[in-house]
């Protein structure tokens, strides 16, 4: 076999992957263009900034969720972790902890929750669906117990202003997506453990017999997911200025949807970082556009559902051909 | 009459004239894009014959099966079923005619009972409810009738792979089958199971069923078949009456290479002892004492389930030992994890490619480099260039037939997949290589390449443990041969010191 044909095939394959990424980006742009013509308020600075803020948090959740899904797992707890972490952050700030300490402790809570998921899956042998479903409901309960069902108001302007401010023309929240996305990309596609995540998702036994530390890899995936969720909890607390355990209801489904729209396979071993990011902003644009067009918010849910079916179906067609 | 006729084509014509062919292919052809998977083939299957098809991996056997079972559609050519031209475009249509296939890897539901599997899609229903008791009784009656001593009420997953294969065959045989294709059915069977399967195949033949039998094991072809067709590189190179031909002729037709060249054996002076086990026990085996020297192949022969794979998995740290000790290069070690075994210098190419050896939906290059990512990682990152260079070099050295390192492993033929299972350890710098059934489902050409690879490892000072259920393989290659039976090391022989018959009876325990 000549080297020419080799590199040609490889190039064709990787260009097909990029093509899918570009198709998603194209879809996003097409929606934006249509909305700019059909509504007066879409293409205003205020709205675009708002859209970026809305999409950012789901985008970060989706990146964490993607690590887990690539290992053929699922993390249903991310929404609850976000809500729980708003409570932790608010409680710490009202008890005169510094912002730095608050951030460190809250992220530490995320790490601990992820480790617990890893423990449940690796050591106790529980299915990921079950252990993360259990934490989903328990964390909301613990959060409500801490606040006694009430909402904690955050009186710390430095903290709350962060989410409203901009930096070089982009909202701070959007910068946070880049802050998470770039290292996540390097980790997943260019590091050893990033590859192990794919290997575990493809064939756990083959990975183990190849010397991959499968347990550590599973721990890592869930810890990353929960830590991303804890980070989003901090951002949400800053944005709404309160700590409330019932916040971020249903965000886990939006995160999973973004990931799947972005080309992640629920059968494992297929996924990227840029896909879920674009997926999250597609969902945010749909919601934003529907609001501006005065579409009944119930319709938004239906449209999201149909869109998931459509995009994943086209992705399946593409894979079957390839 | 035809017995003295040396020309296969003429013999073919003679037999075809004797009766009406049940299935006839005229100019059947299949292309995948630029790949010519099957070049125009003419072949007639006679009612009630056992027709073997042999060829190397990638010779077009799978393509032919898929065409016959309607899984893929042909590019051109015609198919006649009992003299009538048919489309044969869907699996459903093939089943309607009575064409069924039994695959090497069982495709049934492990979580259902044996009876439920046998009647799957064709359940016995009374008043809208499943008549489970009735089905179990019927299934049991069929199994008893076939002479299989297997219970119908247990879960399929509780049976061995060989037993599952028998169930799959029984299932096909009760569905009004008139044309049954076996794709390497004995790859995972023990001798007893294979004998049961052969008995069943002969009974089906007596009932007028046409059998197509695909196997790499030529002795089975001679034991079972009436005629044999040979495929090479997508071309049907000929059809012979089995009793008129011999192994040498078939092999030369398949590969243009002689039998002696396949078992490539080189002798090296035995070096220092690499590993020694003393009364080692663990899950599935007990009291095994053996040692491996550098430059030496130690063969482990036995029936499937004799404890050989379990023994090497314990050496590799996959299972914990329960007693005895392991000495690695003079030092006693307690191997607790695969990583530890690899760091000592042990490499294992496991038995099952799909379940243990490969991440088949990931690229070739990824699989080749998976064990060595720790070596090529710099500052926590895997440099693209090292990744690429190593993968390309390996693909080149091993002559893996693939479109490139980015191709998915699932797109490769069985033999090429096996090259990757073995090849991924060659860069690792191990001293002891363990190969568990390295040539199951691999064609003769690739076998020869694998054996040459073993010799190269020995020349570089490594030691090898070779597990095989195929006696000629360990017999011709091993410097020291151990026979396993029911988890015990029952005999050891020097190179060619015992006969095939002795070794076989030790393995069976008669």
- The pLDDT of residue B5: 43
> Is the per-residue pLDDT at A188 higher than 60?
yes
All residues at 6 or more sequence positions from B217 whose CB lies less than 8 Å from its CB, including other chains: B186, B470
User: How is chain B split into domains, by residue range?
Assistant: 2-98+176-256, 258-345+430-510, 362-428
Percent with pLDDT over 90 in chain A:
57
pLDDT band at B3 (very low <50, low <70, confident <90, very high): very low
Question: With contacts defined as CB-CB under 8 Å, which chain B residues touch A192?
Answer: 373-374, 377, 380-382
Residue A5: inside a domain: no
B2-98+176-256 and B258-345+430-510 share one fold: yes
CB atoms near residue B215 (< 10 Å): 22
Confidence at A113, pLDDT banded by 50, 70, 90: very high
How far apart (Å, rounded) are the C-alpha atoms in residues A187 and B88?
Answer: 49
Distance from C-alpha of A287 to C-alpha of A83, rounded to nearest angstrom: 21
Report the DSSP beta bridge partners of residue A191. B381
pLDDT at A3 over 80: no
* Element of type H or E holding B468: strand B463-468
Burial zone of B132 (CB within 10 Å; 0-12 exposed, 13-18 middle, 19+ buried): middle
Q: How far apart are CA B394 and CA B414, in angstroms?
A: 17
Residue of A nearest to B353 (CA): A206
- Asked if pLDDT for residue A6 goes beyond 70, the answer is no
Residue A9 is assigned to a structural domain of this protein: no
**What tens digit of pLDDT does each residue of B334-388 get?**
988 888 998 899 999 888 777 788 888 888 888 888 888 888 888 778 888 888 8
Over residues B435-448, the pLDDT tens digits come to 998 887 777 778 88
| B342 contacts in chain A (CB < 8 Å) | 211
Distance from CA of residue B351 to its chain's centroid?
10
Contact between chains at B366 and A203 (C-beta distance less than 8 A): no
**Would you give the DSSP letter of residue A122?**
I
| Residues A32-83 pLDDT 10s | 999 999 888 888 888 999 899 889 999 999 999 999 999 999 999 999 999 9
Residue B34 has pLDDT above 70, yes or no: no
Domain count within chain A: 1
CATH number assigned to the domain with residue range B258-345+430-510, chosen from the 4 options 3.40.390.30, 3.50.50.60, 3.30.930.10, 3.40.50.300:
3.40.50.300
Please tell me the distance from the alpha carbon of residue A57 to that of residue A251, in angstroms, as a whole number.
Answer: 9
Q: Summarize pLDDT for B223-275 with one digit per residue, the tens.
A: 899 999 998 878 888 899 999 988 878 877 876 554 555 777 888 888 899 99
CB B432 within 8 A of CB B296: no
List B54's β-bridge partners, or say none.
B230
pTM, full prediction: 0.71
Arithmetic mean of pLDDT, A178-205: 90
The answer to whether position A190 is within a domain reads yes
In a domain, A10, yes or no: no
Burial of A13 (0-12, 13-18, 19+ CB in 10 A): middle
- ∠ CA B168-B169-B172, nearest 5°, is 90
Number of Cβ within a 10 Å radius of residue B358 = 27
Average pLDDT, chain B: 83
Burial B93-118 (b: 16+ CB within 10 A, else e): ebbebbbbbbbbbbebeeeebbbbbb
The torsion angles phi and psi of A64, rounded to 5 degrees, stand at -60, -45
**Interface residue of B34, B348, B361, B399 to substitute, partner A, most A CBs within 10 Å:** B361
pLDDT the model gives residue B439: 84
Percentage of chain B modeled with pLDDT above 90: 19
Closest B-chain CA to A3: B404
Band (pLDDT 50/70/90 cuts) for residue B106 is low
Give the closest residue to A162 by CA, choosing from A288, A86, A53.
A53
- Give the highest mean pLDDT range of A210-214, A222-226, B332-336, B472-476: A222-226
A86 compared with B393, residue with greater pLDDT: A86
**Chain B touched by A101 (CB under 8 Å):** no
Closest residue to A211, CB basis, from B354, B371, B380? B371
Per residue in A79-108, pLDDT (tens digit) is 999 999 999 999 999 998 999 999 999 999
What architecture does CATH give domain B2-98+176-256?
3-Layer(aba) Sandwich (3.40)
| pLDDT score recorded for residue B1 | 36
Alpha carbon of B238: minimum distance to chain A alpha carbons (Å): 28
Most confident by average pLDDT, B398-407, B421-430, B488-497: B488-497
Query: Mean pLDDT, to the nearest integer, of B113-126?
Result: 76
Question: What pLDDT shows up at residue B510?
Answer: 60
Dihedrals φ, ψ of B417, to 5°? -60, -40
CATH number of the domain within which A44 lies? 1.10.3470
Q: How far apart are CA B498 and CA B477, in angstroms?
A: 14
Shortest Cα–Cα distance, B475 to chain A (Å): 27
Range of the domain at A168: 19-321
Q: Which of A136-145, A285-294, B2-11, B197-206 has the highest mean pLDDT?
A: A136-145
């Amino acid at each position: 076999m000549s080297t020419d044909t080799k590199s040609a095939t490889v190039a064709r394959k990787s260009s097909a992957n990029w093509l899918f990424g570009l198709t998603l980006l194209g879809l996003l742009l097409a929606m934006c263009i249509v909305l700019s013509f059909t509504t007066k308020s879409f293409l205003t600075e205020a709205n675009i900034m708002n859209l970026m803020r809305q999409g950012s948090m789901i985008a970060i959740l989706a990146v964490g969720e993607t690590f887990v899904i690539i290992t053929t797992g699922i993390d249903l707890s991310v929404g609850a972790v976000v809500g729980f972490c708003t409570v932790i952050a608010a409680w710490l700030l009202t008890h005169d902890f510094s912002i730095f300490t608050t951030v460190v402790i809250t992220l530490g809570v995320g790490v601990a929750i992820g480790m617990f998921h890893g423990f449940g899956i690796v050591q106790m042998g529980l299915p990921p669906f079950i252990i993360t479903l259990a934490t989903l409901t328990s964390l909301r309960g613990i959060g409500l117990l801490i606040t006694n069902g009430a909402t904690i108001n955050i009186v710390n302007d430095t903290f709350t202003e962060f989410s409203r401010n901009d930096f070089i023309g982009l909202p701070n929240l959007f910068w946070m997506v880049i802050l998470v996305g770039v290292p996540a990309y390097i980790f997943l596609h260019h590091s050893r453990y990033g590859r192990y995540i794919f290997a575990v998702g493809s064939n756990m036994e083959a990975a183990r017999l190849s010397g991959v530390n499968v347990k550590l890899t599973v721990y890592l995936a869930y810890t990353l997911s929960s830590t991303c969720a804890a980070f989003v909890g901090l951002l949400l607390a800053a944005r709404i200025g309160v700590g409330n355990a019932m916040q971020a209801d249903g965000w886990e489904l939006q995160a999973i949807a973004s990931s799947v729209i972005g080309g992640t396979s629920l059968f494992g071993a297929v996924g990227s970082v840029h896909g879920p990011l674009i997926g999250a902003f597609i969902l945010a644009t749909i919601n934003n556009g529907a609001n501006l067009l005065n579409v009944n918010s119930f319709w938004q849910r239906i449209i999201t559902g149909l869109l998931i079916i459509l995009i994943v179906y086209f992705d399946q067609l593409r894979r079957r051909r390839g | 009459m035809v017995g003295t006729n040396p020309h296969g084509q003429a013999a073919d014509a003679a037999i075809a004239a004797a009766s009406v062919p049940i299935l006839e292919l005229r100019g059947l052809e299949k292309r995948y894009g630029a790949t010519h998977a099957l070049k125009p083939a003419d072949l007639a299957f006679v009612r009630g014959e056992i027709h073997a098809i042999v060829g190397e991996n990638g010779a077009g056997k799978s393509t032919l099966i898929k065409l016959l079972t309607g899984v893929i559609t042909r590019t051109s050519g015609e198919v006649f079923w009992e003299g009538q031209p048919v489309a044969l475009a869907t699996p459903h249509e093939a089943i309607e005619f009575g064409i069924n296939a039994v695959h090497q890897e069982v495709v049934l539901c492990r979580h259902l009972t044996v009876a439920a599997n046998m009647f799957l899609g064709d359940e016995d229903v009374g008043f809208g409810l499943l008549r489970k008791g009735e089905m179990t009784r019927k299934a049991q009656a069929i199994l008893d009738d076939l002479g299989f001593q297997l219970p119908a009420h247990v879960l399929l997953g509780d049976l061995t792979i060989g037993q599952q294969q028998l169930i799959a065959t029984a299932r096909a045989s009760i569905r009004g089958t008139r044309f049954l294709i076996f794709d390497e059915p004995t790859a995972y069977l023990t001798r007893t199971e294979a004998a049961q399967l052969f008995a069943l195949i002969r009974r089906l033949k007596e009932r007028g069923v046409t059998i197509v039998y695909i196997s790499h094991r030529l002795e089975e072809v001679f034991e079972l078949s009436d005629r044999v067709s040979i495929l090479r590189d997508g071309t049907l190179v000929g059809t012979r009456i089995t009793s008129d031909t011999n192994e040498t002729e078939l092999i030369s037709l398949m590969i243009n290479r002689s039998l002696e060249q396949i078992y490539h054996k080189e002798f090296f002076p035995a070096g220092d002892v690499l590993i020694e086990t003393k009364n080692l026990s663990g899950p599935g085996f007990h009291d095994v004492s053996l040692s491996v020297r550098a430059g030496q192949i130690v063969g482990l022969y036995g029936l499937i389930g004799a404890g050989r794979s379990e023994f090497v998995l314990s050496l590799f740290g996959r299972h914990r030992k329960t007693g005895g000790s392991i000495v690695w290069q003079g030092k006693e070690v307690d191997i607790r994890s695969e990583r530890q075994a690899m760091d000592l210098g042990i490499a294992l190419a496991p038995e099952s490619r799909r379940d243990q050896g490969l991440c088949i939906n990931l690229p070739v290059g990824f699989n080749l480099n998976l064990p060595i990512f720790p070596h090529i990682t710099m500052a926590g990152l895997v440099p693209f260039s090292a990744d690429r260079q190593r993968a390309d070099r390996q693909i080149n050295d091993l002559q893996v037939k693939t479109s490139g390192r980015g191709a998915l492993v699932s797109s490769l033929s069985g033999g090429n997949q096996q090259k990757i299972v073995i090849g991924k350890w060659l860069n690792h710098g191990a001293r002891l290589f363990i190969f568990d059934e390295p040539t199951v489902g691999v064609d003769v050409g690739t076998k020869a390449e694998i054996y040459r690879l073993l010799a190269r490892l020995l020349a570089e000072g490594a030691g090898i443990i070779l597990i095989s259920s195929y006696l000629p393989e360990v017999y011709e290659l091993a410097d020291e041969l151990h026979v396993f039976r029911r988890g015990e090391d029952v005999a050891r022989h020097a190179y060619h010191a015992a006969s095939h018959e002795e070794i076989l009876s030790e393995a069976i325990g008669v």
